[in-house]
Structure 1
Amino acid sequence: MVDAERLRRPAKTALEALAVAVLYFAAGRLGLLGALGVEDVVVTPIWPPTGVAVAALLVYGVQVWPGIAAGAALVIASLTTLQPTALINITGNTLAPLCAVLLLRRVGFRLDITRLRDGLALVFLGALAAMLVSATMGVGGQLLTGDLASDDFWPLWLAWWVGDAMGVLLVTPLLLLLLAPTRPLAIGRWKERGCLFLVAVALVPLAADSPMSLLFLIFPLLIWAALRLRLFDSMVCALFASVLATFAANTETGAFMHMSNVEVMVKLQAFNGAAALTALLLSSLVTEQRATRRSVQQACDELAEVLDHLSAGEAMPEEAGWPGSDGNDGTRT
């Protein structure tokens, strides 16, 4: 039995790492569909593999890191032949999610993101801080090998860093929430969710494709989802809006007409960041308040039950006619 258990654990870890590699590669190919050019270098406004990597490490543990490295190698191999310099990118893409998970665990991050502190930790530690590693190693490697001019370092570094951070902010919460058990929605909320879906399908493409720059119309939709429904719904809306905005930026239509590549990237990333932060932080705040309200209500119900039992206990002697209930102490005279 012991030998079987020892064999089962490495096999399970290997299968999990293989699944992570496949998901990382699939997410990478999807992310490349929205690639943009900045300073003659192709970058992605949203890099979903970072979100997949952080979620996988949080759920399965840091032992699946070889799957991340293998997935990163497969993505690079699908674009060009693997060179020794590719090891720098693979290392950076592996170390950054590991740093994110270590930082999140250090502050007690919860996978269901039910507290505002969880949302803030994911933003500042998991995304903004940890992704400095991948951006610095990726762009720095190109600079050291002579593939990148020194004048182009900071624009590319900023685009790389924000793209990796957006992957964490938009993809990681969705994957974590898909695995977390949740309370079922009431029937009325399902109807409201359907209305939200219909409004999003109609409004988001209009806001993204309109030449009048109507992207701001998406934020009331995100606020509606955060206040009335759940974090999952608001994050789906944010990801949907970011994907359509990225498509409009790639085709230089709608709000991104007549702009240079740098201007397109700045405007797109500003919108993606604002949408992700609005959905994530507002939803986590509302979720925390709802949980606090339920805890207070439960405590009040338990206190009321205790008071009812105490009242019943005080009334029992009079109802049963115990000695002393008529003012006599029960002694013989």
Structure 2
Amino acid sequence: MVRSVKIRGPAAAVLRVLAVAAAYWAGGRIGLLQQVVVEGAVVTPLWPPTGIALACLLWMGARVWPGIALGALLTIATIDTVGPATLGILAGNTLAPLAAYLMLRRVGFHPGLDRLRDGLALVFLGALGGMLVSATFGACTLVLSGSLPLGEFWPVWSAWWAGDAMGVLVITPLLLVLRRAHLPRDIRAWWWTEAAALALVSVAVTLLATRVSVSLLFLVFPMLIWAALRFQLAGSVPCAVLISVLAISAATEGTGPFTDRSMLEVMVVLQALNGCAALTGLLLASIVTEQIAVRRRIEDACAALAEVVEQLAPGDAAHLWTPLDDGQRAGDRGRPGRQGPGRPDRAPG
């Protein structure tokens, strides 16, 4: 007989902290692959550790904040020598996701992102609001330590804030979706076919939009709309990640619409694209998911009502409620005498 052993107590807490630190450090290493220098400061167009940290807090609670601090310290150590100025940057990188988590918990955020209000909360509180902390701490620390002239504060602050916010907008939804991902029960061949077509078309269109000299960045948005309407978060979030990765690659190489621009201009164009792509995919998918959930609740309520009527008047309930599929609803639109889905053309009896 094999007995499973569960780790509890302090050992489990230590393992959680170490796992968060390792994930943060790994995300930092990935983010540094696309680092750029703005006014002498090293920043990234998309900083994955902020998204990883917020996702870990949403899953395990505020008790894992030491893991975020440890991961941030290890990441900073790979960039520069650890010194007194490191404490300010470390404090900002730790407090920013923690502040975002506390604000999201305050407004009743659902990690499933199944409501529009959840998408809006993640955007405005988690990304745009919470990441003000890390950008402010980081830029102020560089100025106070003499590493950054005061006149260059705002460009560095803006690039820092945008990179951290993009990490939350792109990486946090991806991790939340992956944790709840599952294949549909009645999956069919056409589902795989459409998913593969979406992936291939998204890659082709994004490469076209980010590699040609003509400004065609707007071409990526129909792909996001397609993904959100057909696959909800499971489609729109990976699609937004794909677009962001390919756009960042083109920006760092200085190709396509990013040619002959200053680094600050490149960051502005890139963050505008990444931000709009993430917002479009996340919010539209949340709206569609919420509408589907509302429709299902209405159908369940109607089915329960029909069951009650069946018990009160056996034989008559079948005329009152018969759930229709989407094809039947489409066929009944415009039919004379049709009062609504599941209702008879005339009153029974």
* 2:49–2:167 contact (8 Å) kept in structure 1: yes
Alignment match of 2:303 (pick from 298, 301, 304): 301
Identical-pair percentage = 56
Matched residue type, 2:131 = M
Alignment match of 1:262 (pick from 261, 264, 269): 264
Superposition map of 1:17-56 within 5 A: 17-56=17-56
> Which ranges in structure 1 are unaligned for 5 or more consecutive residues?
316-333
Q: Following TM superposition, by how much is the alpha carbon of 1:41 offset from its aligned partner in structure 2, in angstroms? A: 2.1
Any idea what SS the aligned residue of 1:221 has? Answer: helix
Q: Following TM superposition, by how much is the alpha carbon of 1:314 offset from its aligned partner in structure 2, in angstroms? A: 9.5
Any idea what SS the aligned residue of 1:243 has? Answer: helix
Change (3 A) 1:174 1:242: same
Q: Which has the higher contact order (CA 8 A, sep 6+)?
A: 1
Q: Following TM superposition, by how much is the alpha carbon of 1:11 offset from its aligned partner in structure 2, in angstroms? A: 1.2
Any idea what SS the aligned residue of 1:42 has? Answer: strand
1:173 maps to 2:182: no
Any idea what SS the aligned residue of 1:281 has? Answer: helix
Any idea what SS the aligned residue of 1:46 has? Answer: coil
Summarize deviations over 1:30-56 as a string: whole Å, max 9, x none.
111111222232211100000000000
Displaced runs of 4 or more, over 6 A: none
TM-score under structure 1 normalisation?
0.90
Q: Distance in 2 between matches of 1:213 and 1:40?
A: 29
Change (3 A) 1:57 1:254: same
Q: Following TM superposition, by how much is the alpha carbon of 1:81 offset from its aligned partner in structure 2, in angstroms? A: 1.7
Q: Distance in 1 between matches of 2:205 and 2:128?
A: 30
Partner in structure 1 of residue 98 of structure 2:
98
1:196 maps to 2:170: no
Q: Following TM superposition, by how much is the alpha carbon of 1:180 offset from its aligned partner in structure 2, in angstroms? A: 2.2
Q: Distance in 1 between matches of 2:39 and 2:109?
A: 37
Matched residue type, 2:198 = L
Greater helix content: 1
TM-score under structure 2 normalisation?
0.86
Partner in structure 2 of residue 159 of structure 1:
159
Matched residue type, 1:175 = L
Matched residue type, 1:58 = L
Q: Distance in 1 between matches of 2:22 and 2:275?
A: 27
How many residues matched? Answer: 311
Alignment match of 1:311 (pick from 299, 302, 313): 313
Q: Distance in 2 between matches of 1:314 and 1:263?
A: 69
Any idea what SS the aligned residue of 2:108 has? Answer: coil
Change (3 A) 1:83 1:304: same
1:251 maps to 2:256: no
Q: Following TM superposition, by how much is the alpha carbon of 1:232 offset from its aligned partner in structure 2, in angstroms? A: 2.4
> Which ranges in structure 2 are unaligned for 5 or more consecutive residues?
318-349
